[in-house]
Amino acid sequence: MFLYVCIAALFLDPLYFYFPITGDQACMQTDITLGIFVTFSRTVADLFFVFHMFLKFRTAFISPNSRVYGRKELVTDPHQIASRYLKSNFIIDLLATLPLPQTVVWLVIPSLKNSTVAHVNHTLSLIVLIQFIPRLFQIFPLQRRILKTSGLIAKTALAGALYNLGSYMLASHVLGASWYVSSIQRQYECWRITCKKEMNRTHSPSCNPSFLDCGTMLQRERQAWFKRTRLLTNCDALNDKNQFQFGMFADAFTDHVSSAHFFQKYFYCLWWGLKNLSSYGQNLQTSTYSGETLFSSFICIAGLILFAHLIGNMQNYLQSNTARVEEWRLKQKDTEEWMNHRQLPPELQQRVRRFVQYKWLATRGVDEEAILRALPLDIRRQIQRHLCLDIVRRVPFFGQMDDQLLDAICERLVSSLNTKDTYVVREGDPVREMLFIIRGQVESSTTDGGRTGFFNSITLRPGDFCGEELLTWALMATSSLNLPSSTRTVKTITEVEAFALRAEDLKFVASQFKRLHSKKLQHAFRYYSHQWRAWGANFIQAAWRRHRKRKLAMELLDKENLKGMVRKVTIKIPDAGNLKMPKMFKPTEPDFSTFQD
C-alpha cells in the first residue's frame, strides 16, 4: 500500500513545475487553481508519510545477533526500535516528509513584497527538485523488502508489466515537467537580457524588471513601454534572425505550450518526455548553452538505462507467465524421445500423448500432492475436507459415518486422472483402489467370470464409485494380504477426474468401523453394491425362469388330461436346485456380526 502512495507522490511533485504561465503580454504569472489542487493533494500524501514514520517507530525487528545462533529473537522494546530507526532511514524519511512546497506557497510567498513571480517559481521548482531525491530513494529499500518477503512486486504478469510501465511513465512525466519549467526559465532569461538592454536608453519609457510580472500589466508606464519595446520580437522562437537561441526549448513556444490550458500543456510535455526518453534524445536540436547540453546528455543516459530496465523487467514478468507452458513443452519433448527410443506402437504413443495433454489441462502443471505435503496437517485436512467431503458423502455406505471417520477418509484421498478408453481395472485383476468419480463417465461391466451368455453393464457418473471389492476385503475381520480380484471391468468413456482411496488407506479406515451399527452397514452395503445388485437380478431371473417352466409343464399336463400322472410328473420335475440354469455365485461380504457391540 505504502509503495503505491510513494509512487503517487512522485507523480504529484512535478506538477509544481507547471505553475508558471507566460502569454502574449511578455509577462509571467502563477496558476493559482493548479497551485491549490497540488498543495492540497501533497498535504494528503504527506500525512501518509507521517503515518508510515509512526509505524516504523512501533514496528518490531529481529535482532541481528540472534541469527548467528540459529534462532531469531524478536525485539519489541520501544527504545531499541526507535534507536534502530533513527540510525537507519529516519533522515531520508524526514526530508521526504517535510512540507517545504506548502510552506513556500502558503507562508513565504505571501510575506514577500518585492519578489517577482519568476523568482518565486524558480525557488519553488528548486525546492521540489531537491526534495524529490529523498522521496525517490524511499522506494528502493521498500521495494527490496517486498521482493525479499514475497518474491515479487505484483501477483500477476500483467500487473508486473503495468508496474514497470508505470515507472517508465513516471520518468517521462518528470522529464516533460522539467523540460517545461526549463523552457519558461529560458524565455524569462531572454526577456531579462532584452529588458536590461532597454534600461540603458536615454528616452522614456525604459524597461523595468518588474514589468515582466503580470501583476504590473495595468500600470500606465508598463503599458507605454510595452507599445514601444522590441522584447517580443527579440525573444520570438520563430524568428531565425534572433540572436538568442532557444535550442531544444523552442517547441514550447512555437506550439504555444506555455500559454495553453493545463491538460493540453501536461499531455504535450508528457509526450515530449516519452518520445525523447525512448529515442535517447537523438532528435533534439540543442544550442551551445551548457545547461541545455547537460540536460540533453542526461536524457540520453537516462533513456538508455530506463528503457533497458523496462524491457528486462517486462520480459521477466511475461516469461514467468509462460514458464509452465515451456515446462510442459520440454516434458512433452522428453516423452516423445522416450517413446521413440522404446519403439512403442503408434496407438500406445497416441494414448500417452493424450494422457499427458489431459493431465496438463487439468492441473496446469501444478503438483498438487507436493503442495499439500508441504502444508501443516491441520490446513491439509481442511483443504481435503473442502475438496472431498461432498464426494465421499454421496457414497451411502460412507454417508452413515461420523465426521471424524469422514475426515480420515478425505485425508487419504488422492487425485486420479484417466483419459478416454482407459481400463481402470479388468475383471480378474487385483483391485488396488476405490475410485470416486468427480467428472466424466465410466463403464462398469461383468461377464461373471467369463460365463457364456452373461453380460451386465452400467454407466457410472459423477458421484458414483467403483472398486467396492476392496471395501469388502478391508471390512473382513481376518483379511489376507492378497488383494481381492475385480468382478467387473471398469473402462472410461470420457476423460475422467476422480479421487482414489488406496487399499492400505482403506484398511486403516476400516479399523474404525466398529462404532457403527452392523444392520445399517449391511443394508447399505448390499443395497448400493453393484455386485450385489447384479447377483440379485440374476437370482430373480433364475427364480422367474423356474416358475415359468413349472407353470408351462402344468399347463401341458392339464391339456392332455393326464391328471392321473400329475403326481408322477411333478415328482420328475426338477426342483429349484437341480434346474440346469447358469449359476451365479453369491458375492462375498464381510461378517458384520463381528463389529456388533
Helix spans in 243-345 (H): 251-254, 262-278, 290-321, 323-342
526 versus 464: the higher-pLDDT residue is 464
Overall average pLDDT of the 203-208 stretch: 72
Range in 180-184, 201-205, 280-284 the model is least confident about:
201-205
Q: What's residue 70's pLDDT?
A: 42
- The gap between the terminal CA atoms of the chain, to the nearest Å, is 61
Q: Give CA–CA dist 427/56, Å, rounded.
A: 69
521 versus 122: the higher-pLDDT residue is 122
Overall average pLDDT of the 344-355 stretch: 86
pTM for the model: 0.56
Instruction: Tell me if 582 sits within 8 A of 454, measured CB to CB.
Output: yes
Range in 26-35, 508-517, 579-588 the model is least confident about:
579-588
Q: What's residue 517's pLDDT?
A: 40
Overall average pLDDT of the 186-202 stretch: 80
Overall average pLDDT of the 472-494 stretch: 79
* Statement: residue 590 has pLDDT above 60: no
Q: Which residues are within 8 A (CB) of 382 and not within 5 positions of it... i.e. 6 or more apart?
A: none
Overall average pLDDT of the 6-35 stretch: 84
Work out the pLDDT band at 594, boundaries 50, 70, 90: very low
Overall average pLDDT of the 163-186 stretch: 88
* Statement: residue 521 has pLDDT above 70: no
Work out the pLDDT band at 528, boundaries 50, 70, 90: low
506 versus 362: the higher-pLDDT residue is 506
Q: What's residue 268's pLDDT?
A: 92
Q: What's residue 415's pLDDT?
A: 80
Instruction: Return the C-alpha cell found at 538.
Output: 440374476
Q: Give CA–CA dist 405/118, Å, rounded.
A: 82
By CB atoms closer than 10 A (0-12, 13-18, 19+), residue 114 is exposed
Overall average pLDDT of the 523-538 stretch: 65
- Provide the percentage of residues in the chain whose pLDDT is more than 70: 78
103 versus 570: the higher-pLDDT residue is 103
* Statement: residue 593 has pLDDT above 70: no
C-alpha triplet 401, 407, 412: angle, nearest 5°: 115
Dihedral angle over CA of 431, 435, 441, 446, nearest 10: 30
Domains in the chain: boundaries = 1-151, 324-363, 368-535
Q: What's residue 537's pLDDT?
A: 75
Range in 78-92, 146-160, 241-255, 329-343 the model is least confident about:
146-160
Range in 28-37, 351-360, 529-538 the model is least confident about:
529-538
User: 222's torsion region: left (phi>0), alpha (psi -120 to 50) or beta?
Assistant: alpha
Q: Which residues are within 8 A (CB) of 126 and not within 5 positions of it... i.e. 6 or more apart?
A: none
- Third-level CATH fold of 368-535: Jelly Rolls (2.60.120)
Q: What's residue 164's pLDDT?
A: 76
Q: What's residue 530's pLDDT?
A: 61
Q: What's residue 547's pLDDT?
A: 84
Q: Please list the residues that pair with 213 across neighbouring strands.
A: 28
Work out the pLDDT band at 176, boundaries 50, 70, 90: very high
Q: What's residue 204's pLDDT?
A: 64
Overall average pLDDT of the 94-114 stretch: 80
Q: What's residue 59's pLDDT?
A: 81
Q: What's the mean pLDDT when you consider all of the chain?
A: 78
User: 589's torsion region: left (phi>0), alpha (psi -120 to 50) or beta?
Assistant: beta
448 versus 172: the higher-pLDDT residue is 172
457 versus 592: the higher-pLDDT residue is 457
* Statement: residue 595 has pLDDT above 50: no
- Provide the percentage of residues in the chain whose pLDDT is more than 90: 4
Inter-CA distances, 510 with 77, 477, 507, Å? 55, 10, 5
Neighbours of 440 (CB within 10 A): 19
Q: What's residue 173's pLDDT?
A: 92
136 versus 399: the higher-pLDDT residue is 136
Q: Which residues are within 8 A (CB) of 112 and not within 5 positions of it... i.e. 6 or more apart?
A: 120
